[in-house]
Structure 1
């Protein structure tokens, strides 16, 4: 019998993350007590996941992205970026996480949280291209490249990643 996922404690983004990008500010509408999306935002998905859920999460995310109007490489990039975060949560963030997806003001926003040990600060530099001979860092670098707006909030109590892309139209 599979082990049930650990409860996830979702932390608010820091004030630094909130001021990083106008796109992130538009997506920053999650009630930090209840976890609900507030205002005129449209929640598409909220669910816990473990390693057993990776394929289902990816397929469900792809369907929602298509329903919201993403197509072609924009669709592929968004799904791949979220998938990289989910795989990192499974491998490095404690084995389970919480993913929330919503549409807000022309943006498709996805937030993934875990209760893992956090990401070392040296790995969170967007401009740091990973070496070809190294084993770590390529996934984080790829996530930065694929979203229109990406933020990481990480510490010893876990990590929250938010990826946003502008919807067509």
Structure 2
């Protein structure tokens, strides 16, 4: 049996779910972003207690098929952008459709209906978050970041960054440096 959990997007979330499952005596075979494979079906009271305990931590146990599919889409995107060493070379739409085993148009329509933005916009927001992270850690310059995240050019990345954040990447980096130096002086 597989259960699906909304907002489970990091290793810390996985550890929290693992602790909750152990505390309730629920055996599992695998914990992934947004999904847990259980060894057996769980009793209704265990299900309710797990739901209650997870909600205290900001996580949500999903029950309906549509919400589960939306969460799967989000998890594929988060995994692809934030947790893989390299983004897929194929179109993201093809990658998502193949990974989930659904027609992309179907996935896109459901995602847009529920979230009010399309999958492409969701991908862009996450790519920009990844750019911010890479800028902050100063591991790569903007040219290397644009290449790593498959932007056609540095100017394309910069334009998209400014459109989403309202700031240029270089100004964002300067603001962060200034903020960090102010924190060090406290």
TM above 0.5: no
Which structure shows the higher helix fraction?
2
TM-score (norm 2): 0.26
Q: Which has the larger radius of gyration?
A: 2
